[in-house]
Amino acid sequence: MGLAQSLITIGGVRLTGFITIGGVIPGGGGGSVTHASTTGQTPNDHHAEIHAATHDKGAADPLTVEDLSTASATLTHVLAPDGAGGLTMRAEASGGTVWTVAIEATAARSAAGGEFVLVNAATCVVTLPAPVANARVAVKAIAVPATATSIEIRTSGAGITIDGTDYSATGLPLAEQFEMVTAISDGSNWWIY
């Protein structure tokens, strides 16, 4: 396996170092450190790490980005800025960047995080789930709405907003066929992006 020197920017912070998958990591003093000695895994255990280009002897430098040594159909954690200039691993919100398509042909749907709801009814209320940080929901009208307000997106409770407006009682309308809203949650409310 190979070794690649990389430059990574996350949240405006530039990281330099090496990314290795089952390879040899350059060590201080011209030596090298094997993959197994830093991770305890063989090159065939399939995982990715980010290593600092240089560091003091004994300093911790590996950061496991995703362990793929066990069978898994979806990623469960993401690398994210920690707000203090470093990085942290955090659980991926429901749905993450993988969408589940749901075609709705009835008058009501309670959406789940990660759903891309295709509304195939002239009248329909789609209710967003309770806000969870980084959860995403998309709603698109594929049917012609009966009126300009007959397909609407509502929040799951009073005080929960979409772009600062409480849509718990009267929803955000999708007034035209093929109109779409994609929203992400900050853990308290929803924001259109």
In this prediction, residue 73 carries a pLDDT of 43
10-residue stretch averages of pLDDT, the chain, 193 residues long: 45 48 46 52 50 51 43 51 66 61 96 96 98 96 97 98 97 97 97 95
Count Cβ neighbours within 10 Å for each residue of 78-116 and write b for 16 or more, e otherwise: beeeeeeeebeeeebbbbbeeeeebebeeeebebebbbb
- The pLDDT, as a whole number, for residue 92 is 55
Predicted TM-score (pTM) of the model is 0.54
* 3-class secondary structure, 89: strand
Which domains does the chain carry? 3-91 (no CATH), 100-192 (2.60.120)
User: How many residues make up the chain in this entry?
Assistant: 193
CB-based contacts of 60, cutoff 8 Å, min separation 6:
none
21 Cβ contact list (under 8 Å, min separation 6): 1, 2, 43, 46, 47, 48
Report pLDDT for 56.
54
| pLDDT at position 74 | 46
Residue 103 CA to residue 116 CA, distance in Å, equals 8
